[in-house]
Structure 1
Amino acid sequence: MPICHIFMRAGKTSTYRQTIFDALYKAMRDALDVPDDDQFMTITEHEPENFRFGHAFGITRSEDLVYIRITMFDTRTAQQKKALFKRIAKLLGENPGIAAEDIFVNLLESSKENWSVGHGLAQFV
């Protein structure tokens, strides 16, 4: 039950944004065995003056940079996380053509008891 938040500069087309959603969902299905139709994602667009980045770790980034924050259960292995990072970079590189240097992913892990997905219930406890 991952939740994805994508942060990017404003100005890309709806098709471009939908392609990012589709690629992330496929990457999570492939690497994390996310169930069918388990899609909880948002994109937040920022005007250039409200979107800052650097070139830390010797990585030269462009204005196409996307920050991807995925909040998920704390049950995934290091292998699954590595596979997810690779799969995201591959799929976003293929379509819509985001360079690997412009894909910044942050995973946030949370215990299952911290989730309610509706009806005020703790479905995973």
Structure 2
Amino acid sequence: MPFAEIYLRDGTTPEYRKAISAGIHQSMIEVFQIPEDDFFHVIHSLPAENMLHAPVFWGIGRSDESVIIRMTFNVRPAEQKKALFTTIADRLVENPGLRRDDILMTILETAAENWWSTARTIDPETGFDTRMSPEAVRAGTIN
């Protein structure tokens, strides 16, 4: 049950915000092989004075269009997280046209037992939702 929070400055259109959310969700479907309906996003549209960041970070210029994406999900292997970062960035550059330099992503990992949603069933052996394919579960399980 991945959960995404998207932080950006006020003034964007609903279509722009939807494109960011869709890019994140499609990337999670592709990389994590989550079910299509496993979709929980919150978009925080903030006044400029509440969206603060260094104009140059690690030698890379950041614009006022910067977006911060915080994702929470069960523990995943480093390779899978790297693939998720790359896939999301590629999608957001394509649509809605973000600059790669304006995308900052972070992950909060949590144990499967820290999630709850009515009617959700967890496989006790894998800790993942029983609707996930065996391939997706193997890819998300740390050995």
- Counterpart in 1 of 2:137? none
Equivalent residue pairs, number: 122
CA distance in structure 1 between the partners assigned to 2:20 and 2:78 by the alignment: 24
Q: SS of the residue aligned with 2:106?
A: strand
TM-score in terms of structure 2 length: 0.81
CA distance in structure 2 between the partners assigned to 1:105 and 1:98 by the alignment: 13
TM-score in terms of structure 1 length: 0.92
Taking the TM superposition and a 5 Å limit, the aligned residue runs for 1:36-115 are: 36-54=36-54, 55-74=56-75, 76-115=76-115
Q: Greater CA deviation, 56-65 or 3-12?
A: 56-65
- Counterpart in 1 of 2:25? 25
Q: SS of the residue aligned with 2:45?
A: strand
Deviation at residue 117 of structure 1 after TM alignment: 1.5
Deviation at residue 12 of structure 1 after TM alignment: 0.3
Q: Greater CA deviation, 53-62 or 99-108?
A: 53-62
Which aligned segments of 4 or more residues in structure 1 are displaced greater than 4 angstroms? none
CA distance in structure 1 between the partners assigned to 2:82 and 2:60 by the alignment: 19
CA distance in structure 2 between the partners assigned to 1:70 and 1:39 by the alignment: 12
Deviation at residue 28 of structure 1 after TM alignment: 0.7
Question: Which ranges in structure 2 are unaligned for 5 or more consecutive residues?
Answer: 125-143
CA distance in structure 1 between the partners assigned to 2:59 and 2:107 by the alignment: 21
CA distance in structure 1 between the partners assigned to 2:30 and 2:113 by the alignment: 25
Q: SS of the residue aligned with 1:6?
A: strand
Aligned CA RMSD, in angstroms, stands at 1.4
Question: Which ranges in structure 1 are unaligned for 5 or more consecutive residues?
Answer: none
Higher Rg: 2
